Amino acid sequence: MSYQIQEIKKYHFIDEGAGQPLVLLHGLFGNLANFSGVIEHFKRTHRVIVPQMPLLDLDLLHTSVGGLAKYLHKFLETLELREVHLMGNSLGGHVALVHVLKHTDRVRSLILTGSSGLFENGMGDSYPKRGDYEYIKKKTEQTFYDPATATKELVDEVFSITNNRLKVIKIIALAKSAIRNNLGEDLSKIQLPTLLIWGNNDTITPPFVGKEFNRLIPNSELYFIDKCGHAPMMEVPAEFNVILERFLQKFPDPAVSQ
């Protein structure tokens, strides 16, 4: 499924549907296509917006979770988005968390799936190993319960990124920033309604991480999906969308209810 990429100032993003904004943030090796199942389902009821996060485009000084959170804040301001349902996968979840800890005025709810911010495997080790296609293929497959979800197109894309020396340096910088930026002591400050959707077979942010987020974020609810890895919205979009839709139905559209 291909979508038209919108451009406003320096921001590139998908913008589909109408209604309450549902903003989706991809992870470290993710891209806009990660959310095609979510976009197709929710564009009927929501304005679904997926910014292209500048993971490898910021200067090295700002290549960090904090730098991405600042980028997100300016993006929401530029598009004048309010009452946002903010969802992030993996590093995208981490960025969403840092954002809402500083700015809650534009966000109505928070959705995390396989989020970093407490603990993650495989982000700070030798993952960006250059020149070894089979190694990259294996590491990419480990993102999912079903290795077939890691298509050749996806593996080729990751392999291409890891063969660029500057991109590898930035990947390592982001990975180390995510590990350093542990939010355990701050999560109790989040008062937003929060949905946690976790793969029972996630080896990168294992199930205990979802349980810890649930324990630390006061107004949160946690759901596990069986036979599912680190990216539920990609691997099992139908199950993921059922859980997300049930959650979003709790928030009537102010424009409709007036």
Kindly list the structural domains of the chain, giving each domain's residue range(s) and its CATH number in brackets, ordered by start: 5-121+182-257 (3.40.50.1820)
pTM of the model: 0.93
Three-class secondary structure assignment of the chain? CCCCEEEECCEEEEEECCCCEEEEECCCCCCHHHHHHHHHHHCCCCEEEEECCCCCCCCHHHCCHHHHHHHHHHHHHHCCCCCEEEEEECHHHHHHHHHHHHCCCCEEEEEEECCCCCCCCCCCCCCCCCCCHHHHHHHHHCCCCCHHHCCHHHHHHHHHHHCCHHHHHHHHHHHHHHHHCCCCCCHHHCCCCEEEEEECCCCCCCHHHHHHHHHHCCCEEEEEECCCCCCHHHHCHHHHHHHHHHHHCCCCCHHHHC
Residue 206: per-residue pLDDT: 96
110-141 pLDDT per residue, tens = 999 999 999 887 644 444 456 788 888 988 89
Where is average pLDDT lowest: 6-10, 65-69, 177-181, 239-243? 177-181
